[in-house]
């Protein structure tokens, strides 16, 4: 459980440069949607994915990218990709 | 591989908003091309009054059309994707300007790929005048895809 909280905190640092909605960012939780809630555009979502790849030393494929639309989905994909290493 | 003319033919622009004349070189890492600014462009009448200078946004547009869109069409074709109905959107640009470009001047644009992932192409782009002086330089990114962009 603390693992998850730690990962959300790490993710929060990565996405901070790209968010457009401060209020949603402050209240970020598992169900926060990157595009709907944080108002991140699709181009910056790509930058977030590339930053996630660097941070966790993983490769994210196109299918996973298409699913990474919320904090929850991102955490799940990071977990799977890290386990596959 | 596509010919340089085929790349230009696939560009989704037409006069008076086509700012590419020719592609000089292209490979997986970068592209270069030229454009000569037509003296008769309408914007010279107002930018500036009695003192025509090419607007920075138009220089940026030429950099994007050569360095990002022409390059993106080449890259997509190389990776086997359809380029018949490409959709593009400029997503960011950060350009510094050094020299003015006057009506009738020819420029050379050189672009180097930073990355092309998940339909986002980001490049370092430079523009030079015919004296090989740096006109402007910066980073431009855009989304390029065959399907409808989100």
Backbone angles phi, psi at B108, to 5 degrees: -120, 130
**Chain A, nearest residue to B88 by Cα:** A43
- Give yes or no for B150 touching A (CB within 8 A): yes
Options B10, B47, B122, B124, the catalytic residue:
B47
Residue B19 in any domain: the answer is yes
Active site residue B41: no
Strand partners, B97: B136
Of A41, A46, A53, A67, which to mutate for an interface test with B (greatest number of B Cβ within 10 Å)? A46
**Cα–Cα distance list, A63 to A68, B42, B99, B122 (Å):** 9, 46, 45, 21
Contacts of A47 in chain B (CB under 8 A): 120
Q: Is the pLDDT of residue B150 over 60?
A: no
* B110: in domain: yes
Which residue of chain B is at minimal alpha-carbon distance from A59? B117
The CATH number that applies at residue B111 is 3.10.129.10
**pLDDT, tens digit (0-9, with 9 covering 90-100), for B1-52:** 789 999 999 999 999 999 999 999 999 999 999 999 999 999 999 999 999 9
pLDDT given for residue B45 in this prediction: 96
Asked if A50 and B142 come within 8 Å (Cβ–Cβ), the reply is no
- The number of CA neighbours under 13 Å toward the Cβ of B121 is 30
Residues B72, B142 contacting (CB under 8 angstroms):
yes
Domain-by-domain residue ranges, chain A? 2-84
Q: What is the mean pLDDT of chain A?
A: 93
Q: Give the model's pLDDT for residue B42.
A: 96
Nearest by CB: B118 against A35, A41, A49: A49
B142 contacts in A (CB within 8 Å)? 43
Mean residue pLDDT across chain B: 95
| Contact (CB<8Å) B141/A43 | yes
- Nearest CA-CA partner of B103 in B63, B48, B66: B48
Q: Which run of H or E residues covers position B110?
A: strand B106-117
Q: Which CATH number does A2-84 carry?
A: 1.10.1200.10
Give the model's pLDDT for residue B148: 56
pLDDT in tens, B62-121: 999 999 999 999 999 999 888 888 899 999 999 999 999 999 999 999 999 999 999 999
Taking an 8 Å cut-off on Cβ atoms, the answer to whether A49 and B91 are in contact is no
Establish if B150 belongs to a structural domain: no
Q: By residue range, what is the domain housing residue B80? A: 4-145
Q: Which residues of A touch B92 (CB under 8 A)?
A: 43
Q: Confidence class of residue A1 from pLDDT cuts 50, 70 and 90?
A: very low
| Residue A40 CA to its chain's centroid (Å) | 11
Model pTM score = 0.91
The domain total for chain B is 1
């Amino acid at each position: 459980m603390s693992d998850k909280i730690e990962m959300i905190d790490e993710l929060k640092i990565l996405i901070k440069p790209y968010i457009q909605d401060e209020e949603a960012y402050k209240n970020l939780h598992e169900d926060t949607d990157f595009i709907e809630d944080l108002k991140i555009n699709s181009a910056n979502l790509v930058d977030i994915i590339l930053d996630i790849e660097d941070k966790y030393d993983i490769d994210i494929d196109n299918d996973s990218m298409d699913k990474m639309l919320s904090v929850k989905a991102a955490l799940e994909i990071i977990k799977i990709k890290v386990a596959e290493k | 591989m596509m010919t340089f003319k085929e790349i230009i033919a696939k560009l989704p622009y037409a006069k008076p908003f086509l700012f590419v004349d020719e592609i000089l070189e292209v490979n997986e890492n970068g592209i270069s091309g030229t454009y000569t600014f037509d003296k008769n462009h309408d914007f010279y009448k107002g930018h500036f009054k009695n003192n025509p200078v090419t607007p920075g946004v138009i220089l940026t547009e030429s950099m994007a059309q050569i360095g990002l869109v022409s390059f993106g069409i080449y890259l997509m074709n190389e990776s086997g994707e359809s380029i018949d109905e490409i959709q593009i959107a400029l997503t960011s640009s950060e350009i510094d300007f050094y020299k003015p470009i006057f009506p009738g001047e020819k420029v050379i644009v050189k672009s180097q790929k930073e990355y092309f992932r998940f339909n986002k192409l980001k490049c370092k782009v430079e523009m030079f005048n015919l004296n090989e002086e740096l006109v402007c330089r910066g980073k431009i990114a855009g989304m390029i895809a065959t399907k409808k962009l989100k």
